[in-house]
Amino acid sequence: MNYQSNHVDGQHTASTAHQNQYGMVNNNFVKNHVSPPLCMTNSDFTYDHNGGSANNARQYPLQQQQLQQHQQSSLRVIDLFQSHRSAHQQPYEQPCVALPPIFEYGDLNCSPSIFRCTLTAIPQNQELLKKCRLPFGLVLHPFKDMKLLNVLQSSIIVRCRSCRTYINPFVSFPDQRSWKCNICHRRNDLPDEFHYDPASKSYGDARRRPEIKNATVEFIAPSEYMVRSPQPPVYLYVLDISKSAAATGYLDSFCNRLISNIDFIPGDKRAFIGFLCVDSNLHFFTLSENRQPKELIVTDVDELCIPLFDGLLINLHDNKKSIINFLQNLPQLYRSNKDQNFALGAALHAAKSLLSDNGGRVTVMISVLPTIGPGCLSGRENPNMRSAEEVQHLEAATDFYRTLALEFSSQQIAVDLFALNTQYIDLATIFVNCFCSWFQESFKVDLKLSRFQEKKQSRLLPKVDLKSGFSNPAIYELKRFEEELSRYFARKIGFEAVLRVRCTRAVDRTISGSNLSDAREAMVNACVDIYGSYMHSLSSTTLGGSFLSPGGLRTLPLYVLGLLKHTAFTYGTSIKLDSRVFALCNFRTLPLNLFMLQICPSLHPLHLVDNAGSDLPLLSLSYERIDRHGVYLMDTGDYLFIFVGQAVSEQFCQNVFNVQCFGALREDIENLPELDNPISTAVRKFITNRIKDRPVSPPVRIIREDSPDRDLFIKRLIEDRTDSAFSYIEFLRHIHNEIKP
């Protein structure tokens, strides 16, 4: 997910006499050295209710209160050197959009979490855009507001005849028979049907329509918007049954979760389902309600020939009982499989043949490198080079999977991938170039489910050395894998949705074959350019050795540093190639809020929770903020780490963890116990409020201060120095020194 680019460069600074203890430059300094923002007042701007203005300006007048707030926000200047200790403690402020007074509803703009521009004001010309050194782009999150979404079914979808803009809250109505586009200003005819209000079921003012009162609506598409008539949904599951897959034990979890969610699979009574198991051979299954499942094995994966099509895809509703029986027995069939190969390319070709008529969704489970058949790969990773500054083989080894993805897309076939590997499987080739089709990737490295399955089902926990606090991370991966499967089976996203690609330029540089160091350097240079452009725009008066930043960009260096220390871009530590590739790909599709947490986690002191459930302060990401007597919650987007200091009070351990003391605390607790006391309730409520709107609940992981796993927590404290990376204050000095006068 793209974070809005920000400025980085500057050399003009303010003397400490002009600054307060928080690094904020005082108002007198601002008035003397910073030009006021250019805003048009009501007297300078005449607005025509028909959608134009007397002087053809493209800005709307701001109300007086909004104008004052805008000026105050724009004039705020911060010295990053003075405020570096509190950079992350100040929440990021969302820009406030001021609408003209003619609009009746103040919330016409959609939420920034759904649709966001990198700039709050569009530059007047290309030269101004170039000078500000900020990228001009949009970040989209489709299907974000499904709960409050207005779904419209209309035979006519109103669009501008010239620029094809959809009718929206910002158009104008010169009269009852026409509307004026807010983009190209063309006057369009208004259909009679548009005067009908579906809410009140009456005819009247067109401004009552949901399209005019809401920023986001969804249309039930009429036939002219369809490539073809709606097809029955088809689900094909391609399952890895190799020896490595059997060792993970994932088939048990997969089958159990699919059985429990089979009634929630989208498609009503028209849905079809099929299963294809893969090792060195392809194992097809014909299923029907009145017969036992029949296995058809194809051994020639190079010259693939599907034996028959009848019964390989069956109606889910009519054959539910036989499907459930098949899933209950499937894990036992290959539990002792000794075949170590996986013919992924042949399996995908078979899936394309099965789904080519109708389209559908292919779900692939993979745990081993595909080394046989079409698209076979060889190991490219050198474990001795994992910590090298220059990382090799981030690009695809072959175009086979990219070409196949294009063929899938043309035939309305979506592909979802769950990687369950313990060894290298070349994710760079398998799915980095597969974003041409709808390709979801879910990466579960070092997943060992089988050894925990029996204990989990009986609600027992693995034995742990309470003194050392050792625990196997697989139990957390099991929980996360099962939760994602539950959501995945029941999600309602269209088959033919277009994959939206949201990635940073650094990701593009890296996976297109450029060196990792080039991507890192590009991010730092962007930071230098932005602050340099800003500081050069200030007065030429000598400002000393300060590092000035506008208020809206104060956290940019911290986020850039977080990117440089993230698994995707860091070096100097041993990182598996597949883990790095997955992190890069994850940046393409993460929602913006989770993207920000991946880069810069939030850290809260749980030991300060009170009975009233007040908000907990946000702490800087530095170990100097960690007290041995405290308990801290770190939210990284995909995990919730609870770091417990060795000197934590016995009372807190009893109230929250239901243990007598720190020494009795186990790290393999999946969820905090629900205890009948105010502190336990407040802690669980705080955690629940943080994750309640997320599509997948991140697992909670307890980390003791004396645990070997403490590095999982410490490495996310990005403001501290590491062997291969700057501390935050060192990074600020580096950027400041790179800014040219």
CATH number at residue 209: 2.30.30.380
H or E segment at 260?
Answer: helix 250-260
Statement to judge: residues 627 and 709 lie in one domain: yes
**Is 175 a domain residue?**
yes
**Is 308 a domain residue?**
yes
pLDDT digits over 136-185, tens only?
Answer: 777 777 777 666 778 888 778 899 999 999 999 889 999 989 999 999 99
**Is 295 a domain residue?**
yes
Task: State the residue range of the domain holding 292.
Answer: 234-377+392-490
pLDDT at 187: 96
Average pLDDT on 244-271 reads: 90
pLDDT digits over 378-419, tens only?
Answer: 988 888 777 777 778 888 888 899 889 889 888 889 888 888
Q: Which two tokens stand for residue 346?
A: 């042949």
Does the pLDDT value for residue 46 go beyond 50?
no
Statement to judge: residues 164 and 265 lie in one domain: no
Binned at pLDDT 50, 70 and 90, residue 711 comes out as: very high
- Please identify, among 469, 490, 511, the residue that sits at the C-terminal boundary of a domain: 490
pLDDT at 491: 43
Statement to judge: residues 207 and 255 lie in one domain: no
**Pairwise pLDDT comparison (166 vs 505), residue with the higher score:** 166
Does the pLDDT value for residue 333 go beyond 80?
yes
Strands, E assignment, 515-623: 548-550, 602-605
pLDDT at 410: 87
Statement to judge: residues 181 and 266 lie in one domain: no
Q: Which two tokens stand for residue 511?
A: 């996976």
In 604-677, which ranges are continuous DSSP H helix?
A: 650-652
Of the ranges 67-76, 440-449, 649-658, the best mean pLDDT one: 649-658
Statement to judge: residues 651 and 684 lie in one domain: yes
Average pLDDT on 281-298 reads: 89
Statement to judge: residues 397 and 267 lie in one domain: yes
**Is 406 a domain residue?**
yes
Phi, psi dihedrals of residue 182, rounded to the nearest 5° = -85, -5
Statement to judge: residues 208 and 286 lie in one domain: no
Statement to judge: residues 407 and 314 lie in one domain: yes
Q: CA nearest 557: which of 737, 735, 741?
A: 735
Summary mean pLDDT of the chain: 76
Statement to judge: residues 632 and 483 lie in one domain: no
Statement to judge: residues 202 and 309 lie in one domain: no
d(CA 518, CA 506): 8
Does the pLDDT value for residue 474 go beyond 70?
no
Does the pLDDT value for residue 48 go beyond 50?
no
Phi, psi dihedrals of residue 170, rounded to the nearest 5° = -105, 10
Number of helical H runs and strand E runs in the chain: 22, 23
Average pLDDT on 583-587 reads: 82
pLDDT at 601: 94
Binned at pLDDT 50, 70 and 90, residue 512 comes out as: low
Statement to judge: residues 199 and 239 lie in one domain: no
pTM passes above 0.85: no
pLDDT at 402: 87
**Is 25 a domain residue?**
no
- Please identify, among 490, 523, 545, the residue that sits at the C-terminal boundary of a domain: 490
Statement to judge: residues 424 and 467 lie in one domain: yes
pLDDT digits over 478-498, tens only?
Answer: 666 665 555 544 443 322 222
Q: Measured on CA atoms in the order 535, 541, 542, 544, is the torsion positive or negative?
A: negative
pLDDT at 96: 62
Any idea which residue has 């029941």 for tokens?
490
* Cα–Cα–Cα angle for 380, 384, 388, rounded to 5 degrees: 95
**Is 416 a domain residue?**
yes
The structural domain count of the chain equals 3
CATH number at residue 283: 3.40.50.410
pLDDT digits over 529-549, tens only?
Answer: 878 877 777 655 545 677 887
